[in-house]
Amino acid sequence: MHSGSLFCHFKSKDALLYEVMQEGMRSALARQMIVLLAEHDAATTLRQLIRSHFHTLLGSNSDFMQAVLYESRSLTTRQRSVIAKLQGDYEAAWTPVLQELASAGCLQAEVPLARLLIFGALNRSVQWFDPKKGTSLDDLTDAVMALFIRKKPR
């Protein structure tokens, strides 16, 4: 693409960024919705949410997530709040699942805090994950489940 061409399609560079972030978050939400519509037990649902989140973070067409996590300061206040709302909705969907696991004793922390810590752990993978190192997204998902979620106590 050539230097002036962007402005045939977007009002500004930040407008493109905003579009990409919004579009990316909406598709991530849609992908996640499919997971949530399947009726599984909480542990299975969480596993699928994590797997889906890794796809969103690390799969192809995932650059938007870098933008959501690290470039929000380039947006206007209004745009930033729209993206924050989408991100909030996305993360809020995990709460009931985590709540159920916490109630069952499988997750040993207050859910709001646990959710922040879990998203921190997962999101940072964009910095260190390297598919060439031989670990698959499924392996990663297994490791995360093992780390955070305990077997249901009798």
CB of 141 to a second copy, least distance (A): 11
The binder of a second copy chosen from 23, 41, 89, 110 (CB under 8 A): 110
Site string for a second copy, 43-72 (x = CB under 8 A): ---------------------------x--
Residue 90 near residue 28 (C-beta atoms within 8 A): yes
- Provide the token pair at 95: 């709460």
Only segment of 11-19, 42-50, 75-83, 122-130 that touches a second copy (CB under 8 A): 122-130
Q: Cα angle at 56 between 87 and 20, to 5 degrees?
A: 65
Does position 128 interact with a second copy (CB under 8 A)? The reply is yes
DSSP 27-45: HHHHHHHHHHHS---HHHH
The nearer residue to a second copy, 34 or 143, going by C-beta atoms, is: 143
To DNA, the closest distance from the beta carbon of 12 in angstroms equals 3
Contacts of 70 (CB under 8 A, 6+ apart): none
74 vs 99, beta carbon nearer DNA: 74
How far, in Å, CA of 97 to CA of 129, rounded?
26
